[in-house]
A and B are shown apart, each in its own frame.
Chain A
Amino acid sequence: MSGRSPRGLGAPIAAIAMLLFAVAADAVAAPSVDATIEPSQIEMGESARLTILTSGSGTLSVPLPVVPGLEFRVVGQTRQIQMINGATIESTSTIIRVTPEEAGLFSIPGVTPNSPPLVLRVNPGHGGGSLSQPNGASPGTAPLVPGSSSANGLRLTPDGSAFVRMEIPKHEIYVGESIPVEIQVGMRDGFVASVNGLPKFNSSDFTLNNLSHQPERAARVVDGKPFTVLSWRTLLAAIKPGTFSLNFETPLTVRMRTRPLRDSMLDDLLGDPFLQNIFGATVSKNITVASPEAPFTVLPLPTQGKPPDFGGAVGNFKISTEISSLTNTAGDPLTLRMRVNGSGNFDRVESSMLGATAEWKTYEPKATFNPADPTGYRGEKVFEQPLIASQPGAHIVPPLSFSFFNPVTRRYETARSAPLKVAVSPSAADIAASNPALSANAKGTPADDSHSGLRPDHAESEARVDSLTPPYFERPFLGVTSTVALLFGGGWVALRRRERKTHDLQGARERSRSQMLHALLERMAAASAAGDEGAFFNAARSALQQSLGARWLLPPERISLADVDGRAEGADRADLRQLFMLADEANYSGGPLQAADFERWTELVRRQFAPESPS
């Protein structure tokens, strides 16, 4: 071998290398698909992960498998590009979440015709709650997760997200008896997305009063976990005797884990629902949560000792009666009331009250119920019956009775009221009938029509009107009345405004006058202090001119000594005249004046501005 030239081997090696390269290039260029599912065995309420890995130079689209009973949803996709020997290789990994809708063994077909199928086993859950699926598949009875538990007498759903509870006071009831029942729906905070309907039961042996659409809401801790509890209170009644069991169901939408519980333990430790929601680890699912079945023994009502007036009322009741008036006129109606108080099935509490008697004409009673609690289990039913005494005299309203079955004493009971005494006086018609002299009316016609019991016709003497509508509701009358009212109202308002305006004007004048007096007195005081007679008397004369002008209704600047001579009266007349003269003198002669004079003249000016000045 060593004797052979290497040049002679070069060509075959190159050919082999080229062949290998071509084979390798072909091998990496051809797309391949690989699918795996893990885990291959899960329980109801969990999800498996299906991973489809495609690789090759071209893009391969893989359709989602379709398997009845399994739900497939793409939750993620990664793409990787590699260069191998100059060839571009693209690999894509698609992660699909597989959520079972029912238990069983499922075969997921291969993603390509040549791929082998995948097998997924879904074990049924175990526990108290039941799950019913939208497609009507039978619900599992075992809990979905090992953590499902019965706590505090409650039976939680397999995943511990909700419970329904029924509280009843007793399990042995009589046919027709109403018992208060409370239905509680507990929802673990963050787990239950919505309540999709009111609690209901599927038994035809019981009746249930309507449930409110706004139940009571309360927070409660169950096994250390927070729950919101919705409570409905209503009445339950049995229709027929026998032994029955009863439970309530409520449709809910819950958020379920999509990962096995062992992977979710950390979530649970950290306050699971929110972390699961953040990382997309839950899926919404409609479930129906049922309460534990409650046994009932429904007893028939005894036939022995049943009162003839028993109408089906079961409970404990008391009655009382009253009448609208103990004195009345024959022919006038009275109202007889019977009050039935207590607890029980008030919808069966009926009474015909008083039947027609020779003394009383009776009418059909009407009933109103006043519940004392929201369910209507306790309360008062009031029957009202119109009565008319046909004859005057002392009448007795007979005692009324009401029969019911008491489930506590287990026998029929009859409640009776006391009789009522009513004094009925004769009516005007009775008096007229007994006195022939009064039996004719003012028109001279007979007072009674013996054939029909009607009073006779009237003679038409009055003027006719064109409408029966009272004038209050006629537009012309309303228009006239409104106009008159508006006129008076407007006049009153106008008068008030005028008075207010006058008052305001007077007030303004008074204020102006007071301010001016103040200013002039200050000027007088200043002039007095300075010994300036001219300024003092000028200010004093101006002040007097203001006062006298307002009094005599003259312009103040035109008031002169002649006006003072002609109009001034009283003790101050001479002083006024002298002050005017002194003012002229001080102006024109400039003669000296004593300091005491200033005080005297100042006092005179003040007197003139007093409210009741003599001039």
Chain B
Amino acid sequence: MLIALAWWGSKCLAAPAPAPAAAQAQAQAQAQAQTGYSSAALYNLANAYARAGKPGLAVLNYERAKLLSPHDADIDANLRHVRETAGVPPEARKGFERLAGIAKPRILAWVGLAGLIVAGAGALARRFYPRRRGLLLAATLVGICLLALAVANAIAIWPVMHEAVVIAHTAPARVAPVPIEEPLFVLPEAAIVSMRAEHDEFVLIQTQAGRMGWVPSTSLAPIVPKRQTK
């Protein structure tokens, strides 16, 4: 019993204490996973972080809110404001992303499924009702268009699934996943990076300028949190 207690104590002492921002993000993620996410709640939370001078967590929650409400002008405006204040260059959305994000992904997903059903049923029905071939062909084409829209939206969102926001004040990026290396460069808070790989407590990131380096995982928070196992 004493040995087990001593081992547990040593484990507790040896475990590195997470950074305050990372602990805050983790606690927030757990709380939200229990209560669920809403665009307004995320937006309000981001505003609270922005007012508290935590641009990293603010940008993180704005980006999450954008996933649920991609066309909310308030989210865009505040996100741009916080990024400017933090000295991070704003993101320029490409034409494809604008086109693909004409509606909420949750809606577009079901629209795409409906399109699949319409297209499939139309294609089959043309075999049984040859007299209504024209009408059924039009229905099939409409279904294919809806399906294509959903697929385009999924392709546009896919990179976000692997993006993270720097929530620490600064995040040194190193050439290898060991803390003794001299940093290659330092990421500012609120910067958005792509996650390429993970190793122990480090994440291999790539900046929008194409630079790559290993950053402590406690300095980052993924925009789409992993689903908590119940």
Say whether, besides A361-B84, A467-B37, A467-B227, A484 and B117 are in contact (CB < 8 Å): yes
A459 within 8 A of B: yes
CA distance A485 to B121 in the complex (A): 10
Per a CB cutoff under 8 Å, which of A452, A465, A484 touches B116?
Answer: A484
Interface membership of B199, Cβ < 8 A: no
Contact of B227 among A333, A388, A454, A469 (CB under 8 A): A469
Cα(A389)–Cα(B47), bound, Å = 24
CB-CB under 8 A from B153, the residues of chain A are 470, 472
Please tell me if the beta carbons of A458 and B80 are within 8 angstroms of each other in the complex: no
The segment from A392-400, A488-496, A520-528 found at the interface with B is A488-496
Contact A470 B109 (CB under 8 A): yes
User: Which residues of the other chain, B, contact A428 by a CB distance below 8 angstroms?
Assistant: 73
Q: Are B124 and A333 in contact (CB under 8 A)?
A: no
Instruction: Give the residues from 442 to 492 in chain A that come closer than 8 angstroms, CB to CB, to chain B.
Output: 449, 451-473, 477, 480-481, 484-485, 487-489, 491-492
User: Which residues on the B side are within 8 Å of A331 (C-beta)?
Assistant: 80
Residue numbers in B under 8 Å from A201 (CB-CB): none
| CB–CB B47/A457 < 8 A | yes
The answer on a CB contact under 8 Å between A462 and B40 is: yes
Cβ B67 vs Cβ A458 within 8 A:
no
Does A464 lie within 8 Å of B127, measured CB to CB? Answer: no
Chain A residues contacting B154 (CB-CB under 8 Å) are 470, 472-473
Contact indicator B74/A458 (Cβ below 8 Å): yes
Query: Which residue of chain B has its CB nearest to the CB of A443?
Result: B40
Interface status of B105 (Cβ within 8 A of chain A): yes
Whether A458 contacts B84 by the Cβ 8 Å rule is: no
Task: Kindly state whether residue A132 has any CB partner on chain B within 8 Å.
Answer: no
0/1 interface trace, chain B 28-40, chain A, CB 8 Å (1 if under):
0000010111111
Q: Is the CB of A485 within 8 A of B44?
A: no
Give min CB distance, A423 to chain B, whole Å. Answer: 18
**A441 part of interface (Cβ distance < 8 Å):** yes
Judging by beta carbons under 8 Å apart, are A477 and B109 in contact? Answer: yes
- Bound Cα distance A470, B104 (Å): 9
| Contact A466 B38, beta carbon cutoff 8 Å | no
- Selected from B89, B123, B210, the residue in CB contact (under 8 A) with A488 is B123
Contact A388 B84 (CB under 8 A): yes
Chain A residues whose CB sits within 8 angstroms of the CB of B47 once the complex forms: 449, 454-457
CB-nearest residue of chain A relative to B188?
A364
A481 CA to B51 CA, complexed, in Å: 43
Q: Tell me whether A472 and B157 are in contact (CB under 8 A).
A: yes
Question: In the complex, what distance in Å separates the CA atom of A468 from the CA atom of B119?
Answer: 28
Within 8 A of B (CB), among A415-460: 428-429, 441, 449, 451-460
- Tell whether B161 is near chain A: CB-to-CB under 8 Å: yes
Whether the pair A469, B44 counts as a contact (CB closer than 8 A) is no
Cα separation A484 to B110 with both chains bound (whole Å) = 13
A457/B116 in contact, CB under 8 A: no
B214 to chain A, nearest CB (A): 20
CB-based nearest A residue for B128 = A495
B106–A471 CB distance below 8 A = yes
Q: Is B54 positioned at the interface, with any CB of A under 8 Å from its CB?
A: no
A166 and B40 CA atoms in complex are apart in Å by: 70
Contact A459 B40 (CB under 8 A): yes
Residue A411 interfacial (CB < 8 Å) = no
Question: Is B78's CB within 8 Å of the partner chain A?
Answer: yes
Task: Across the interface, name the chain A residue whose C-beta is closest to B87.
Answer: A363
A464-B89 contact given A366-B209, A457-B44, CB 8 Å threshold: no
Asked whether B92 lies within 8 Å of A458 as measured between CB atoms, the reply is: no
Q: Mark B117-139, 1 if CB is under 8 A from A, else 0.
A: 10111011001000000000000
Contact A472 B150 (CB under 8 A): yes
> What separation, in Å, do the CA atoms of A462 and B41 have in the docked complex?
10
- Chain A residues near B85: list those with CB within 8 A: 453
Taken together as a complex, chains A and B put the C-alpha atoms of A345 and B73 apart, in Å, by 47
Query: A615 contacts the other chain (Cβ, under 8 Å)?
Result: no
B161 touches A473 (CB 8 A): yes
Whether A335 is near chain B, meaning CB under 8 Å from some CB there, is yes
Query: Across the two chains, which residue of chain B brings its CB closest to A471?
Result: B109
Known: A469-B227, A484-B116. A453 touches B38 (CB 8 A): no
A485-B80 in contact (CB<8A): no
B51 engages A452 (CB within 8 Å): yes
Interface positions, chain B 22-62, Cβ under 8 Å from A, are 33, 35-41, 43-44, 47, 50-51
- A333-B92, A468-B224, A472-B157 are contacts. A462–B116 as well, Cβ < 8 Å? no
Q: Which residues of A contact B106 (CB under 8 A)?
A: 465, 470-471
Is there an interface contact between B116 and A472, defined as CB atoms closer than 8 Å? no
Set of chain A residues within 8 Å of B161, measured between Cβ atoms: 469, 473
Closest to B224 in A: A468
Proximity string of chain A (153-172) to chain B, C-beta cutoff 8 Å, 1 when within and 0 when not:
00000000000000000000
- A300 CB to closest chain B CB (Å) equals 32
- Complex Cα gap A485–B80 (Å): 41
Point out the residue from A368, A458, A466, A467 that lies within 8 Å of B44, measured CB to CB. A458
CB of A273 within 8 Å of the partner chain: no
Which residues from B are CB-within-8-Å of A449?
A: 47
**B67 CB contact (under 8 Å) in A366, A386, A470:** A470
CA distance in complex: A26, B20 (Å) = 102
From known contacts A333-B89, A428-B73, A471-B110, infer whether A452 and B50 are also in contact, taking CB-CB under 8 Å: yes
Taking a contact as CB atoms under 8 Å apart, the answer to whether A464 and B38 are in contact is yes
User: In the complex, A497 Cα to B36 Cα: how many Å?
Assistant: 48
Cβ contact within 8 Å between B209 and A458:
no
B113 sits at the interface (CB 8 A): yes
Give the complex CA separation of A363 and B85 in angstroms: 12
Check: B225 CB closer than 8 A to any chain A CB: yes
The docked-state distance in angstroms from the alpha carbon of A331 to that of B78 is 12
Measured CB to CB, the nearest residue on chain A to B48 is A457
Q: Closest Cβ of chain B: how far from A458's Cβ, in Å?
A: 4
Q: How far is the CA of A139 from the CA of B227 in the complex (A)?
A: 71
Residue contact A460 to B90, C-beta cutoff 8 Å:
no
B175 at the interface (CB under 8 A from A): no
Find residues 201-230 in chain B having any chain A CB closer than 8 Å to their own CB.
209-210, 223-225, 227
CA A487 – CA B116 in complex, angstroms?
A: 11
Quick one: which of B73-120 are within 8 Å of A by CB?
A: 73-74, 77-78, 80-82, 84-85, 87, 89-92, 105-106, 109-110, 112-113, 116-117, 119-120
A363 & B89 in contact (Cβ 8 Å cutoff): yes
Q: Within 8 Å of chain A (Cβ to Cβ): is B145? A: no
Known: A428-B73, A488-B120. A468 touches B37 (CB 8 A): yes
- Distance (Å) between the CB of B54 and the closest chain A CB? 12
The 5 closest A-B pairs by CB, nearest first: A488-B120, A464-B36, A471-B109, A470-B105, A458-B40
Sampled A-B contacts (20; CB under 8 Å): A331-B80, A332-B92, A333-B90, A368-B210, A386-B92, A452-B51, A454-B50, A457-B40, A457-B44, A462-B39, A463-B38, A464-B35, A470-B153, A471-B105, A471-B109, A472-B154, A484-B116, A484-B120, A487-B120, A499-B127
Q: Which A residues are within 8 Å of any B CB, using their own CB?
A: 324, 331-333, 335, 361, 363, 366, 368, 386, 388, 428-429, 441, 449, 451-473, 477, 480-481, 484-485, 487-489, 491-492, 495, 499
**B→A interface (CB under 8 Å):** 33, 35-41, 43-44, 47, 50-51, 64, 67-68, 73-74, 77-78, 80-82, 84-85, 87, 89-92, 105-106, 109-110, 112-113, 116-117, 119-121, 123-124, 127, 150, 153-154, 157, 161, 209-210, 223-225, 227
